[in-house]
Amino acid sequence: MIRELRELIASSRMANISASNSDIQAGTHTAEEEQLDRVPQLVERAKRGDRDAFAELYRLHHARIFRMARLHLGDLGDGAEDAVAETFLRAWAALPRYRDTGAPFVAWLFGIARHVVLDELARGRRVMPREELPEGTKGWTVDDRLTLAQAIERLPAAQRRVVELKYLAGMKNAEVASALGKSEGAINAMQWRALGTLKEILEER
Amino acid sequence: MNRHLEEDLERWEAGLAPLAELEEHHPGPEVHDLTELHHQLTALGLEATPGPERGWQRLSARLPEPHPGIILLRPTEPKHRHVLTRRRVAVLGLAAALTLTGGLAAADVLPGPAQDAVANVAGHLGLDFPHSADAPDQTSHGQEVSSVAHSTPEVGCDKGQAISEVASSFAQNHRHGDPEPIPCDKAEAAGGHAHHAGPGSGNGVGPAAGATHASDSGLNHRGSHGPPA
């Protein structure tokens, strides 16, 4: 099983991933972080019915929600895009009840997106991806992605949330800690524990 | 996974420890597998996605406005209809309340302060509603009649007449025209027949009969059917 995992990992290794993790993170989110600073103001305006502010929130968070939906639903047709639209429709309806608890807004959106994805999966809308992979996933096979998505689904809820918020929503551990009401140290530990569990799930397959 | 490995992986992720150091501290494939999985997932979060504009164009056409929560719960048209219905109900309710209050006030059955308040307002509107002070005190009037019936020294027709006078005092206040003939005088003029009435008619001069005589028509009736002179 471990050999299969190694093969899976080896097959999915990306050319631009070096041994140093900081190479990936450095400079990637800087511009986005500047934009995300405006999120609380945009949320307040959107709560008052400002569609322009909501459009801005959509543009800022579209990619993260899309990636999450695509991972779980596949990429054929408009499945992921429809899930994103449904997520933001529900968010628009629920926005007047949104309360800023200090956690990143994207964590709230991810909570909605998760329900949308589960609804879609319950309707049997999961698409077995057989089309080209998105740009930036050289070395992956479509089955690898599906296997990984299914493995993430099988994680314990708390670990799955850490993985989704950290890797798919692109949140820092401190932000994940704020969103889940835990300490940063606890999130650090949970993250690696989740990866350990994920590795075990993948080895079982 | 042991705690020491978790801490080392945290240090590696933070850029504080090279991978080689971790692999040296933790021999075997575990460090390599976990760091590779970390890279995979990180790359997953950096995958290219379609631009948001097309999606926003489609979404904005479906987006209710202006306040989503309220709009979803209250469609526009029924809301307008509901407002009109509420107004109608309010107006009808107010009219009904005023009619009821006015009716009760006109019947002079409201409690004293309420009666006075309604009478004052109605007075400003040119309507003549009685004040509470105008209303006869039925309880004390009945007691007064009863008291006379039990205490008057008169007997027979005179007692009945005395009771009748008290009982019909309110009616007399409103009576116009000639005063009524006095029954006992009429009876005496007719030969004192009234004093010779049988046991059944004797009740007619008791307290109860006196109350009955409070009716003017009753007095006239009896008078008209008295024995011939």
- Domain end, chosen from B89, B116, B134, is at B134
- B49 to A67: CB separation less than 8 angstroms, yes or no: yes
Interface residue of A84, A97, A175 to substitute, partner B, most B CBs within 10 Å: A84
Kindly state whether residues B157 and B109 are assigned to the same domain. no
Q: What is the mean pLDDT of chain A?
A: 79
Chain A residues inside the 8 Å CB shell of B34: 192, 195-196, 199
- Are the CB atoms for A199 and A152 separated by under 8 Å? no
Question: Does residue B165 fall inside a structural domain?
Answer: yes
Mean pLDDT in residue range A165-170:
90
Q: Is the pLDDT of residue A115 over 90?
A: yes
Q: Produce one character per residue of B37-62: b if its CB has 16 or more CB atoms within 10 Å, e if not.
A: bbbbbbbbbbbebeebeebbeebeee
Determine whether A173 is exposed, middle or buried from the number of CB atoms within 10 Å of its CB (0-12, 13-18, 19+): buried
The residue segments making up the domain with residue B20 are 3-44
Mean pLDDT in residue range A60-78:
84
Q: Supply the pLDDT for residue A23.
A: 40
Chain B residues inside the 8 Å CB shell of A67: 44-45, 47, 49
Cα A83 from Cα A116, distance rounded (Å): 6
Q: Is the pLDDT of residue A146 over 60?
A: yes
Q: Is the pLDDT of residue A149 over 60?
A: yes
Distance of CA A126 to the CA centre of its chain: 17
Chain B residues inside the 8 Å CB shell of A189: 3, 6, 10
* Interface membership of B2 toward A (CB under 8 Å): no
Sorted by where each starts, the structural domains of chain A and their CATH numbers stand as 35-204 (1.10.10.10)
Residue in A5, A51, A167 nearest the CB of B44: A167
- Binning pLDDT at 50, 70 and 90, where does residue B40 land? confident
Kindly state whether residues B143 and B217 are assigned to the same domain. yes
Q: Is the pLDDT of residue A50 over 50?
A: yes
Question: Does residue B95 fall inside a structural domain?
Answer: yes
Range with the lowest mean pLDDT among A14-18, A139-143, B13-17, B39-43? Answer: A14-18
- Are the CB atoms for B47 and A136 separated by under 8 Å? yes
Cα A15 from Cα B113, distance rounded (Å): 94
Q: Is the pLDDT of residue A19 over 50?
A: no
Question: Does residue B229 fall inside a structural domain?
Answer: no
Q: How many helices (H) and strands (E) does chain A have?
A: 11, 0
- Binning pLDDT at 50, 70 and 90, where does residue B224 land? very low
Q: Is the pLDDT of residue A96 over 70?
A: yes
Q: Supply the pLDDT for residue B93.
A: 85
Q: Supply the pLDDT for residue A140.
A: 60
Q: Supply the pLDDT for residue A1.
A: 44
- B45 to A14: CB separation less than 8 angstroms, yes or no: no
Kindly state whether residues B157 and B91 are assigned to the same domain. no
Chain B residues inside the 8 Å CB shell of A94: 68-69
pLDDT digits (tens, 9 = 90+) for B17-27: 999 998 889 98
Most confident of A17-21, A197-201, B205-209: A197-201
Q: Supply the pLDDT for residue B123.
A: 78
* Closest residue by Cα to residue B43 from A138, A189, A11, A150: A138
Kindly state whether residues B153 and B104 are assigned to the same domain. no
Range with the lowest mean pLDDT among A24-38, A145-159, B199-213? Answer: B199-213
Q: Count other Cβ atoms within 10 Å, centred on residue B82.
A: 11
- A9 to B70: CB separation less than 8 angstroms, yes or no: no
Kindly state whether residues B9 and B29 are assigned to the same domain. yes
What are the Cα distances from residue A168, in Å, to A192, B5, B43, B71, B82? 16, 24, 9, 32, 46
Range with the lowest mean pLDDT among A125-129, B77-81, B191-195? Answer: B191-195
Residue in A89, A94, A168 nearest the CB of B59: A89
Question: Does residue B102 fall inside a structural domain?
Answer: yes
- Binning pLDDT at 50, 70 and 90, where does residue A17 land? very low
Q: Is the pLDDT of residue A161 over 70?
A: yes
Kindly state whether residues B127 and B145 are assigned to the same domain. no
Kindly state whether residues B124 and B144 are assigned to the same domain. no
Kindly state whether residues B36 and B103 are assigned to the same domain. no
Question: Does residue B147 fall inside a structural domain?
Answer: yes
The pTM of the whole model exceeds 0.80: no
DSSP string covering A121-154 = HHTT------SPPPTT-TT--HHHHHHHHHHHHT
- Domain end, chosen from B111, B134, B157, is at B134
Kindly state whether residues B142 and B213 are assigned to the same domain. yes
Residue A92 or residue A32, greater confidence:
A92
Kindly state whether residues B129 and B142 are assigned to the same domain. no
Question: Does residue B122 fall inside a structural domain?
Answer: yes
Residue B175 or residue A151, greater confidence:
A151
Kindly state whether residues B120 and B162 are assigned to the same domain. no
Tell me the torsion sign for CA atoms B96, B99, B103, B105.
positive
Mean pLDDT in residue range B191-201:
44
Question: Does residue B216 fall inside a structural domain?
Answer: yes
Question: Does residue B123 fall inside a structural domain?
Answer: yes
Q: Is the pLDDT of residue B99 over 70?
A: yes
Residue A193 or residue A138, greater confidence:
A193
Number of domains chain B contains: 3
pLDDT digits (tens, 9 = 90+) for A178-198: 999 999 999 999 999 999 999
Mean pLDDT in residue range B112-119:
79
Kindly state whether residues B122 and B179 are assigned to the same domain. no
Q: Supply the pLDDT for residue B190.
A: 53
- Are the CB atoms for B38 and A195 separated by under 8 Å? yes
* Interface membership of B43 toward A (CB under 8 Å): yes
